[in-house]
Structure formats: structure tokens, C-alpha cells
Amino acid sequence: MAKSQETRSFEGKSANDCYNAGLKAYPAAGFNVWKERSLAWLLMAKKKDKGVDVDSNLSARPTSPAQVTISLSSDAHSEEELSAMTEHIFSALQQALG
């Protein structure tokens, strides 16, 4: 099973801002959010690709600046493919944050 995980900081944004942006970013990146934990700033999402599920988690932390960690895993994808999907999610997240 391949995995990808990346953390980025967002200056001037709160964990709540990042969490809410994640709610928009996942669908924009082709993922369906299936679990929301707003008190923990945690989202769980998945999408079908190559006939299998790609699982993803987004976690926002109330640091200064706020940090977001996006993790992906799949049985049918390489780390490079998952890293490209992670980049697509972060791009959609940045767009949602404005």
C-alpha cells in the first residue's frame, strides 16, 4: 500500500478557516467527504480511481500559522501518483482560502 503525507502552513488563517476550506477543496479535487469532525478540524474523504478507493485525511492544527496535513493511501497507486493528488488537493485548498 502506497502512502503520501504532507504538511503545509497557512499564514493569517485559522484552523477553522483551513477546515472549512477543506470542505470545499475535497469536492473540487474529485473526493467525497464521508466524515467530518469539526471539533478536531478533521476530514475524511475518498474517491475511486483505477477502480479502487483512494483514502484521504485532512487535519488542521491551531498553530501560528495554522498547519494542514493531508494524507493519502491506496493499494493501486504509486507514491508519486498520490503526491500529485495531494498537490491537487492543496491547490484547491489554497483557492478555497482565497
Residues of the chain with pLDDT under 50: none
How confident is the model at residue 90, as a pLDDT?
Answer: 98
Q: In the CATH scheme, what is the code of domain 2-97?
A: 3.30.530.20
How confident is the model at residue 26, as a pLDDT?
Answer: 98
The set of cell numbers assigned to 46 is 475518498
Q: Residues 69, 83: contact at Cβ < 8 Å?
A: no
How confident is the model at residue 1, as a pLDDT?
Answer: 86
Taking the C-alpha atoms of residue 82 and residue 64, their distance in angstroms, rounded to an integer, is 28
Domain ranges of the chain: 2-97
Q: Residues 33, 27: contact at Cβ < 8 Å?
A: yes
